[in-house]
Amino acid sequence: MYLFPILNGIWQGFVISILLFGPAFFKLIHTSIQDGFKKGVMLASGVFLSDLLVAILCILGVADFMQNPAFQKMYSLCGAVVLFLMGVKYFRHQYKAFLQSYSARVPSSKSILKGFWLNLVNPFTFILWFNVMGSISLKYAEEANYKILLSVNLITILVVLFLMDVLKVFLSHLIGKKLNARIFFTINKYFGLLLMIIGSVFLARFIGLIVR
């Protein structure tokens, strides 16, 4: 009975994971290389929780409000500012200051919060889940147990996304074990640059929404 939504969720989660390249993805790779497997998994857990929250909001019917032009404009602007400032912070890090922060112990709970908020400030996270919910809703619209099938499909997607993130963490951690502090510092610089570019893309989206 639930085989179809499970199989459907598996391939959908796999495709989404491969095609998804947002700030949370780059932070996941960055954290796994620099801070190790455990911190990477904690970050992936935060991303999972934020995806779960957005999916639940879509089920509860909040999607209409989130697709409101005013909300989209404000969210794009906030996401652009947060990501750009984060990028500047990483990019301007001096080597001595980086070594101090690199050797400092950061609580795992902070990694969860970083993953949660970094994924949540991305306006495309909402767009992704709107489209996913719209797509899978159509498949079960005529079924009597519509909500159960929808939930099984959705949970399967979320679990597959999390497992794929853990796989990315593991592979990145293996790479990180072979790198030294100087290379980590260079990765930090490029990560900051990536965040600034993504922030600029969100800012361009905000400007596009205004002039539309």
> Rounded CA gap, 163 and 177, in Å?
21
- Residue 173 phi, psi (nearest 5): -65, -40
Task: Place 98 in a pLDDT band, splitting at 50, 70 and 90.
Answer: low
Task: Place 63 in a pLDDT band, splitting at 50, 70 and 90.
Answer: low
Tokens of 122: 């991305």
Give the per-residue pLDDT at 97: 63
* Percentage of residues of the chain with pLDDT beyond 90: 13
Alpha-carbon dihedral angle through residues 201, 124, 11, 28, given to the nearest 10 degrees: 70
- Which of 98, 119, 102, 85 has the alpha carbon at shortest distance from 189? 98
Contact 93, 184 (CB under 8 A): no
Structural domain containing residue 13:
3-211
This prediction has a pTM of 0.80
**Close Cβ partners of 130 (under 8 Å, ≥ 6 residues apart):** 58, 63, 66, 67
Number of domains in the chain: 1
Q: How buried is 61 (Cβ within 10 angstroms: 0-12 exposed, 13-18 middle, 19+ buried)?
A: exposed
Q: How buried is 211 (Cβ within 10 angstroms: 0-12 exposed, 13-18 middle, 19+ buried)?
A: exposed
Give the per-residue pLDDT at 1: 65
Q: Is the pLDDT of residue 104 over 60?
A: no
> Rounded CA gap, 145 and 175, in Å?
46
